[in-house]
């Protein structure tokens, strides 16, 4: 958890360098969309204390489910501008399938099970981003 920007390339490289015997690293970065030029900024609120616990628990679930050498979640809070990076995940495994699936699992769970809320400010005003039914549905494939 951090308010400051992060260097996606440097974080990905450092993460990969920390691994031993891993044949695959998958990374994902989430970026603030500009809403066709309408977005002024996005505010990300979180629940200090619970956020860290929720992220740790999601990562532990991923490690229990796949053969991972390591995983990384970085998530920002505070005010972000269009095209800023919001967050990244990385997963390392001996084989690509586990790394891809684990990265997707981390993303799916932290979208709707970690206590973050986004508020978008445009010229028209400010509004909380509503959760999408598709994000909730995405968890179902992991519950089979």
Q: Under the rule (CB under 8 A), what is the footprint of other proteins?
A: 30, 45, 47, 49-50, 53-54, 75, 86-87, 107, 110-119, 128-131, 136
CB of 101 to other proteins, least distance (A): 17
CB of 115 to other proteins, least distance (A): 6
> Which residues are within 8 A (CB) of 129 and not within 5 positions of it... i.e. 6 or more apart?
117, 118, 119, 120
Q: Which one, 22 or 107, has the nearer CB to other proteins?
A: 107
Q: Which one, 60 or 136, has the nearer CB to other proteins?
A: 136
> Cβ atoms within 10 A of the Cβ of 69, count?
19
CB of 12 to other proteins, least distance (A): 17
Q: Which one, 30 or 82, has the nearer CB to other proteins?
A: 30
Place of tokens 């690293």: 25
Specify which residues 39 forms β-bridges with. Answer: 122
Q: What is the C-alpha to C-alpha distance for residues 6 and 59, in angstroms, rounded to an integer?
A: 20
CB of 11 to other proteins, least distance (A): 17
Q: What is the C-alpha to C-alpha distance for residues 129 and 120, in angstroms, rounded to an integer?
A: 7
Q: Which one, 21 or 49, has the nearer CB to other proteins?
A: 49
Is beta strand 39-46 parallel, antiparallel or unpaired with respect to 116-122? Answer: antiparallel
């Amino acid at each position: 958890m951090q308010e400051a920007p992060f260097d996606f390339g440097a974080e990905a490289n450092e993460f990969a360098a920390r691994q031993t015997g891993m044949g695959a690293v998958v990374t994902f970065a989430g970026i603030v969309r500009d809403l066709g030029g309408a977005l002024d900024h996005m505010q990300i609120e979180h629940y200090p204390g619970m956020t860290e616990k929720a992220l740790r628990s999601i990562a532990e679930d991923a490690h229990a489910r796949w053969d991972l050498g390591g995983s990384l979640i970085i998530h920002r809070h505070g005010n972000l501008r269009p095209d800023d990076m919001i967050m990244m995940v990385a997963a390392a495994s001996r084989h690509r399938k586990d790394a891809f699936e684990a990265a997707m699992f981390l993303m799916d769970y932290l979208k709707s099970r970690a206590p973050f809320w986004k508020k978008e400010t445009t010229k028209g005003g400010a509004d909380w981003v509503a959760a999408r039914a598709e994000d909730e549905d995405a968890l179902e494939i992991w519950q089979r």
